[in-house]
Structure 1
Amino acid sequence: MKNTKGLRLLTLLLLGVLISASAWAQDSKANRASPPATATGKVGPATVVVNYSSPAVNGREIWGDLVRYGEVWRSGANEATTVEVDQDVLVEGQRLPAGRYSFYTIPGEDEWTVIFNKVADQWGTQYDQQQDALRVTAKPQKSTAMNERLKYDVTNDGIVLLWENLMLPVSIKPAQ
């Protein structure tokens, strides 16, 4: 009789663990339609880390439609994209102190405004211009390949946003 009660208790305990694990897996960010991604690299002595969620094109018209020209875009999906630099740097020639920033853009057909915002931990649509640490401009280019998913690269020259048939290089240099 005691073995039966112990076996039932063990079975219920295992069932509870399985249900809990399944529930946690449901909440995993990796299961989102726009999964999380990270790009890390060095620009001179500075380490640059970009954390973002990566939406897909999915046959949609991206530039000027899904991502409207002239409007602030979270430059990713879900939570705000963040850029972290461990040393002061020059972004498009302007000083950005070491720190972690949310990263927004205002796309245009010929020129984009690139925004580093002081509030890093926020949902992507909670942008407040009063919290901007830096605004610079950058020129979009046609990418050499189609990118189904939004992607960031950190290169020796800075950050590159790649999505669909567009790339946006943002120059980063060590601060003097």
Structure 2
Amino acid sequence: MSFRKLIKFSFLLALVAFFATSSQAQDDKSKRKSPPMETTGMVGDATVTINYSAPSVNGRKVFGDLVPYNKTWRSGANEATVFEVSKNVMVEGQELPAGKYGFFTIPGEDKWTIIFNSVWDQWGDYNYDKSKDVLRVEVMPKKLDEPVEQMKFAISEKDGKSWVALKWADTKAAFSVAPVASN
């Protein structure tokens, strides 16, 4: 191989290596400004798992500004939030079949709509289709005593009930989740 061809080959090899590592860095979701998170908990014998990207307040006004009131929101950043349940459960008294769902909300000042949509594998809420909703429930948001900088979901038990809560900035939207009663 001539010296000139060796130089060209070495240059091409270096270029390929550069772009390969560059694309791998872009695929590393942990380096995003809104990193991926997972919250898992038990409701009776059902496992509830929530996968989401957690945005931060960063000095911004969140609800009513960054996240407009009365508009569908992916309930996180990047990909749509995914809510998965291993068995049928009751959400605010309504049955949600076992499965994987796109989790969306419509935040409002006095009420939030919680949405479980059959299309879970999508980017944001750009292709959200209301006709694919499996369940919608309404809850009342609460003001938090202490603001939460990075959005988070929590699964907890209080007063004999299981709760899923989205907390961010000065707001908490929570809904009850219960096992389906056996006959």
Q: TM-score range by the shorter chain?
A: 0.7 to 0.9
Whole-Å separation in 2 of the counterparts to 1:19 and 1:106 = 40
For 2:108, the aligned partner's letter is G
**C-alpha displacement at 1:19, in angstroms?**
5.9
TM-score, normalised via structure 1 length: 0.87
**C-alpha displacement at 1:158, in angstroms?**
2.4
Whole-Å separation in 1 of the counterparts to 2:101 and 2:136 = 12
Whole-Å separation in 2 of the counterparts to 1:77 and 1:49 = 17
For 1:127, the aligned partner's letter is Y
Q: Which moved more, 1:71-80 or 1:25-34?
A: 25-34
The residue matched to 2:65 in structure 1 has which SS? coil
Whole-Å separation in 2 of the counterparts to 1:90 and 1:14 = 56
Matching of residue 97 in structure 1 with residue 102 in structure 2: no
Q: Over residues 132-160 of structure 1, what are the superposed CA-to-partner deviations in whole Å (9 max), with x where a residue is unaligned?
A: 00000111111232111111112231211
Matching of residue 173 in structure 1 with residue 178 in structure 2: yes
Q: Over residues 37-69 of structure 1, what are the superposed CA-to-partner deviations in whole Å (9 max), with x where a residue is unaligned?
A: 110111111110000011111111111111111
Whole-Å separation in 1 of the counterparts to 2:73 and 2:16 = 42
Whole-Å separation in 1 of the counterparts to 2:69 and 2:155 = 25
Matching of residue 159 in structure 1 with residue 160 in structure 2: no
For 2:138, the aligned partner's letter is T
Whole-Å separation in 2 of the counterparts to 1:154 and 1:17 = 43
TM-score, normalised via structure 2 length: 0.84
Task: Give the structure 2 partner of residue 80 of structure 1.
Answer: 80
5+ residue gaps, structure 1: 1-8
Task: Give the structure 1 partner of residue 6 of structure 2.
Answer: none
Matching of residue 138 in structure 1 with residue 127 in structure 2: no
Identity %: 51
Alignment: residue pair count: 172
